[in-house]
Amino acid sequence: MKVCRRCLVRGRVQGVFYRGAAQQKARQLGVTGWAHNLADGSVEVMACGEHQAVEVLCDWLWDGPRLAEVTDVGCERVAYRPLTDFDTR
């Protein structure tokens, strides 16, 4: 079953290669979507793909890259979108 999740990741997640690491992890899992820096210092992640792969990525968002300090991850289900890649914006 294919799903999409929109997640907001808070903490020290900008300037620590968070978006790039999320892109690498998503591509390893076959998940499409994007990671985008927001003005408030958080990162928005859209993750679409097979349910299990999306859940693995959503769990990984709590860890992020080595220099990240994640304090909160909030994910919600959104309508499935057939995207072709995982981009950083």
Q: Is 27 considered catalytic here?
A: no
Whether residue 13 contacts residue 62, with contact meaning beta carbons closer than 8 Å, is answered with no
Query: Which residue is catalytic, options 6, 19, 27, 81?
Result: 19
Residues 43 and 72: their CA atoms lie apart, in Å, by: 11
Query: Which residue is catalytic, options 5, 37, 81, 89?
Result: 37
Token digits for 20?
Answer: 């790039």
Residues 77 and 65: their CA atoms lie apart, in Å, by: 24
Residue for token pair 């999409």: 4
Q: Is 12 considered catalytic here?
A: no
- Residues labelled catalytic: 19, 37
